[in-house]
Structure 1
Amino acid sequence: MQILRQLDVHPKVREEADILVRTFSGAIVTVISTIIMGILLMSEINYYLTPSMSEELFVDTSRGSKLRINLDIIVPVISCDLLSIDAMDTTGEQHLHIEHNIFKRRLDLNGKPIEDPQRTNITDSKAVNKTAEKALEIGSTESCGDCYGAATETLRCCNTCEEVREAYKLKKWAPPDPANIKQCKDDKSMEKIKHAFTQGCQIYGYMEVNRVGGSFHIAPGDSFSVNHVHVHDVQPYTSTHFNMTHKIRHLSFGLNIPGKTNPMDDTTVIATEGAMMFYHYIKIVPTTYVRTDGSTLFTNQFSVTRHAKQVSLFTGESGMPGIFFSYELSPLMVKYTEKAKSFGHFATNTCAIIGGVFTVAGLIDSLLYHSVRAIQKKIELGKYY
């Protein structure tokens, strides 16, 4: 029995011997060690509750899904009436004036909203035909306005400035100069011209396109196709009138996932000259995120490079002023998988924290206690003055 007692690493103090001593320094060490222990325990609990993340890289074999593009862009010095957003992909499918989930909000020059956001309009062949049919019905009951040589069987009369423009689009002709069109002088288009550069515009929302490489852009002027060529009608302005300074508040592809960053968020691009073309070349990496509950999210990450140039006939730089985004899809996919941490590992670390802090605190308390006792004895012997 005596040999077993020698193995006890926790010797007990007999209270009846009156040697149990409580000190002020011991109380301070106890309070500090308790605080440290609590902080370390909270950190360990937070670490345990945060799932670990594993990454895998493999070839993307998914097919048939759509690519969701989320955007929120502000053009501070061009009115919403002059801006249009268009998208197209490498399959040849072209979307003019995407409106289904895209909104425009008028802003003053200080960036404050002027009115509630409005959905943009789609202009396609069906819409043009509907406009022509409506104009034909009106023309049969009202005076028939001149179409300036662009009259057709479906659009014989042009009583408004917009109908003259539609007639030219049907003919695949270049847009007319509003200053030479009688209908445009008393039309709302003159009001649009008046506010063209005294307002800003916020374009935001999302669109879903085919999951292939493609592009979309925000540019001044009404967009349409002439002989399969995409053009913008900016009359009566010239390209140098347009200041394409813009702020990209948000741009992403797909859903947001933990740890995902969007490199273009809160990016401001300043146009130092008029008629600037801003290119944003985007490389999209498909991403799969698997949660601990087994649910799977499909999204995308991306990187971007930028380029800008000024459109000028004198320098030979062709194009049109605007903000252009060109994106390509990587053939590789990244997979993130959440994994819950081991409870055994958590329990082991918790015991290590409690035992370690308790032991170190005991050593410090013992060192302080014996140091103070030694100094007190020397003072009593008269060795300290």
Structure 2
Amino acid sequence: MSVLQSLKSVDFYRKLKKDLQQELTEASLPGATLSVVATVVMLGLFIAEFNNYMTVTSESKVVLDHFESLSDDTLQVNFNVTFPHLKCDYASVDATNFMGTHDAGLSARVSKVRLDKDGAQLGKHEERTKPLQHALEEKHDGPETSIALTADSFEAHHHKHDVMVVNFYAPWCHWCKKLEPVWEKTAATLNQKYPGDERLKLAKVDCTAHASESLCIKNRVDAFPTILVFRKDDTGTSLHESYHGERSVPAITAWAENFLAQAKNQVPKTRVVDSDKDGVADSHHGVGCMVSGLLHVQRAPGMLVMQAVSDGHEFNWETMDVSHTVNHLSFGPFLSERAWTVLPPHIAAAVGSLDDQKFASDQHIPTTHEHYVKVVRHEVTPSTGKRDPVVAHGYVSHSNNIQKVGEVPTVRLNYDILPIIVQYSAKSQAFYHFITNLCAIIGGVFTVAGIAASLVDKGMASLQKKQELGKLG
């Protein structure tokens, strides 16, 4: 008991005995008014302090970027672009830097997916593993055996034969000239092997002739030669597979014989044919292409170039359409789900500024699309927890079209990686700081209100005393 009695001696909060409270304390109207005012002030300051505690403040600064190792000298570029009118056989991606060095990508992974007229995916495009083979000095001394078609005569022959294989060409085309004797000899070979058989015919269309120009435009023939397959039961929305195999009489003959087998219902109809069984389709369908990939480039101004390229075709640049949709474009490693939750909205939006934007070309004038991109590295430190900063590369972009006769239609993505880092940190008030401020508010307001009440009481007492002495009017 003596210990408890000793402990009571250090009580900071001694209080009056209950029987003495009424005698030693007295309530007053001014005191009650100040108490109400003090309570309201305390409540208001508490709300303001609580809002401040719940608010996350941000701080940003710009520092110079520097490389700690040689591996930091490269940056990953991620892209996914859809070309509705450019075939995967011709779609090419090239990288160059400001010094003019091509193939500046240290490593590259590019894939292509063939698309139909509506943009639906038809399947992955397999690149040729060897150069396109051409028959050497093939000659055909006999009469022309393939059918020469125009826009007016095309439909009649289309519905006359089960399958019609058409060579769209231009007389000025070097590759068309090399294919001409091969094509005629192939037509003669098929006629000899299958005399009187009208189910399969080889035909040709001169796209430079006025009578055939509309037919080539309708089928979007931009490359010469283009070999397309037309079937009797085609509808207006049918896809026509194109031939991309070896240009020799045996190869084209073997490929065409697949359609005779299809006409006899010996094999199911397919628009992807690998006649030489080398694992690469000799013909496939698709009018568009989705190009996606990943490049590692040096942290220096550079450019990605996307255009039509072929080692066996000449292109009609006046009708070439490189309209495209940038499905995705970003820089740096792909961000995790946790990283996206940490990034502030304005930085998250800058990571893919060009995403889902469409760019259309004029159908009658060669159009080149230029995209200019300024890339900035961001380091975002989360407001809670001791975690490593999230690294994201945002960018701003500007796009422009160049329409010029004789210009090769191209999509150029010019990027400039700025040598700076924007360090962004988010801070929230610590809980102990909130409690400290809360105690200061309660104690401070209570103390100030007590001082004010004391001054009011003294003033009232002084006035009352003067009144009693008769010093007031």
Q: TM-score range by the shorter chain?
A: 0.5 to 0.7
Q: Does 1:190 align with 2:278?
A: no
> Percent identity, aligned pairs only?
19
Q: 1:177 and 1:99, CA in 2 relative to 1: closer, same or farther beyond 3 A?
A: farther
Hey, what does 2:314 align to over in structure 1?
Answer: 236
Alignment equivalent of 1:272, drawn from 358, 362, 382: 362
SS at match of 1:61: coil
Displacement of 1:215 after TM fit?
Answer: 0.4
Does the 8 Å CA contact 2:107/2:296 hold for their aligned counterparts? no
Does the 8 Å CA contact 2:80/2:290 hold for their aligned counterparts? yes
TM-score w.r.t. structure 2 length? 0.46
Q: 1:236 and 1:91, CA in 2 relative to 1: closer, same or farther beyond 3 A?
A: closer
Alignment equivalent of 1:55, drawn from 39, 52, 60: 60
Please show how residues 337-352 of structure 1 align to structure 2 within 5 Å.
Answer: 337-344=425-432
Q: Distance in 2 between matches of 1:234 and 1:78?
A: 16
The one-letter amino acid of 1:89's match is N
The one-letter amino acid of 2:227's match is M
Displacement of 1:324 after TM fit?
Answer: 0.5
Hey, what does 1:86 align to over in structure 2?
Answer: 94
Does the 8 Å CA contact 1:106/1:199 hold for their aligned counterparts? yes
Alignment equivalent of 1:286, drawn from 377, 381, 388: 377
Q: 1:99 and 1:333, CA in 2 relative to 1: closer, same or farther beyond 3 A?
A: closer
Q: Distance in 1 between matches of 2:108 and 2:386?
A: 34
Q: Does 1:67 align with 2:75?
A: yes
The one-letter amino acid of 2:402's match is K
Does the 8 Å CA contact 1:246/1:270 hold for their aligned counterparts? yes
SS at match of 1:55: strand
Alignment equivalent of 2:175, drawn from 177, 181, 184: 177
Does the 8 Å CA contact 2:115/2:286 hold for their aligned counterparts? no
1:174-194 C-alpha deviation (Å, 9 max, x unpaired) = x942442369857x9735757
The one-letter amino acid of 2:328's match is H
Select the structure of larger CA radius of gyration. Answer: 2
1:238-259 C-alpha deviation (Å, 9 max, x unpaired) = 1012111111121111244513
Q: Distance in 1 between matches of 2:117 and 2:136?
A: 38
Q: Give 5+ residue unaligned stretches, structure 1.
A: 11-39, 122-126, 136-143, 149-174, 223-232, 314-318, 352-385
SS at match of 1:339: strand
Alignment equivalent of 1:203, drawn from 282, 285, 291: 291
1:153-176 C-alpha deviation (Å, 9 max, x unpaired) = xxxxxxxxxxxxxxxxxxxxxx94
Displacement of 1:214 after TM fit?
Answer: 0.5
SS at match of 1:181: helix
Q: Distance in 2 between matches of 1:349 and 1:120?
A: 68
Does the 8 Å CA contact 1:100/1:119 hold for their aligned counterparts? no
Displacement of 1:109 after TM fit?
Answer: 1.1
The one-letter amino acid of 1:57's match is V
- Aligned residue pairs total 264
The one-letter amino acid of 1:62's match is F
Q: Distance in 1 between matches of 2:299 and 2:104?
A: 18
TM-score w.r.t. structure 1 length? 0.56
Please show how residues 214-229 of structure 1 align to structure 2 within 5 Å.
Answer: 214-222=302-310
1:304-337 C-alpha deviation (Å, 9 max, x unpaired) = 1122112414xxxxx4211110111223221122
Alignment equivalent of 1:303, drawn from 362, 374, 396: 396
Does the 8 Å CA contact 1:178/1:184 hold for their aligned counterparts? no
Hey, what does 1:246 align to over in structure 2?
Answer: 324
Q: Distance in 1 between matches of 2:307 and 2:372?
A: 17
Q: Distance in 2 between matches of 1:118 and 1:347?
A: 64
Does the 8 Å CA contact 1:281/1:327 hold for their aligned counterparts? yes
Displacement of 1:269 after TM fit?
Answer: 0.8
Hey, what does 2:136 align to over in structure 1?
Answer: 146
Displacement of 1:349 after TM fit?
Answer: 9.7
Hey, what does 2:414 align to over in structure 1?
Answer: 326
Please show how residues 116-131 of structure 1 align to structure 2 within 5 Å.
Answer: 117-118=124-125, 131=130
Hey, what does 1:6 align to over in structure 2?
Answer: 27
The one-letter amino acid of 1:286's match is R
Q: 1:3 and 1:250, CA in 2 relative to 1: closer, same or farther beyond 3 A?
A: farther
Q: Distance in 1 between matches of 2:127 and 2:105?
A: 7
Structure 1 stretch displaced more, 329-338 or 101-110: 329-338
Hey, what does 1:29 align to over in structure 2?
Answer: none
Q: CA RMSD in A?
A: 4.5
Does the 8 Å CA contact 1:85/1:98 hold for their aligned counterparts? no
The one-letter amino acid of 1:247's match is T
SS at match of 1:336: strand
Please show how residues 155-166 of structure 1 align to structure 2 within 5 Å.
Answer: none
